[in-house]
Amino acid sequence: MTGRFADRRRAVAQALQSVGAEAMVVTDLRNIGYLSGFRGSAGALLIDADGEAVLATDSRYELQVVEQAPDVGHVITREYVSGVLGRRRGPGDAPVAVEADDLTLSAAAALRSALAEVGSVDAPVIETSGVIEGVRRRKDEVELGLIEKSCAVLDRAWTHMLASGLITAGRSERDVAADLEHAMRRAGSDGVAFETIVASGPNGALPHHVPGDRVLEAGDLVVIDFGAMVDGYASDCTRTVAIGQAPDRLVRAYEVVLRAQLAGVEAVRPGLGCADLDGVSRGIIEAEGFGGFFGHSLGHGVGLDVHEAPAVSTRSTSTLSDGDVITIEPGIYIPGLGGIRIEDTVAVSVGGGRSLTTTSKAFSTL
């Protein structure tokens, strides 16, 4: 059992010891892909205590599973969970871990039925949260390369939007969002990592505004938050631009956010507490009198999910580690006036933080 997928499964098997389980049924499709390479839309994976694994999927993927996941056992069945449980190699009454965040009540009942079918009705079921996600935090070289590729898509798409004059007065938020998503596709994205945010004028005070029919006007700041998926890995970036002459208060707020964002990226290093990193940027915003207008956390992890561990917030108990990929995205949101957010996807290494999204963050008037 060699290779990066096997290494990941062994890491999960080792983590299972801390929760008292001797096997784990994996049902989250992203985690199945992470641990086996299988990219189908249905299945279940069983990891035993030694990291050996078996994957169940249906006949639609009979050829695909052999190609994508050659180093695990295969069961072709529509009964995914019972299919993998039937191949358990440990004692029938040994504890089995499940992904509580992915398991619905109906799926939990099906799991119990499946255990009974294979003679393991007395096996304790241990509900876990974050076991695999904890292993996923540290990105290997392949993963980092894919995230860099995803971020390069954002850079190319953003450069196209500016060069083509597609962010301008008279266009609606909805039109700008559609053009940006099309530009990401043309630049190599497999799809969006989340619904693109285009928030103009007073809508910019809403951090997760949904693009609508409001037309961009002279004097607006426009907050644009966008992300791509490339080979299963996400990227995340926000830029804020002005349409003509913006109000002085927003221009000043932009300068403060930019300073806070640059300071946050500069502070990134392994061993730094995530709450302390949040405090670096938040402290600058508070010192300039805008603290009451910055309500969300400074950032989050990025990988297979656009939001994953670690959380970079005032409440976080995590510490940055080599191999983390996070966002640094401070903002100021002034109701009735507008908002600013500046965000980069940042890789954490022993050398510090490296922004993987690289387009200019200087104040820009279009």
Which domains does the chain show, CATH number per domain? 4-136 (3.40.350.10), 141-355 (3.90.230.10)
Asked if the model's pLDDT at residue 2 lies above 70, the reply is no
What's this model's pTM, rounded to 2 decimal places? 0.94
Q: Give the model's pLDDT for residue 104.
A: 84
d(CA 139, CA 347): 9
Q: At what angle are helices 29-36 and 4-16 packed, to 10 degrees?
A: 120
d(CA 9, CA 15): 10
Eight-state DSSP code of residue 201: G
Is the previous residue joined to 270 through a cis bond, with omega within 30 degrees of 0?
A: no
pLDDT per position as a tens digit, 298-339: 999 999 999 999 999 999 999 999 999 999 999 999 999 999
Which tokens belong to 231? 């080979």
Mean pLDDT of 32-54: 95
Asked if the model's pLDDT at residue 1 lies above 60, the reply is no
Q: Which DSSP helix (H) or strand (E) runs through 52?
A: none
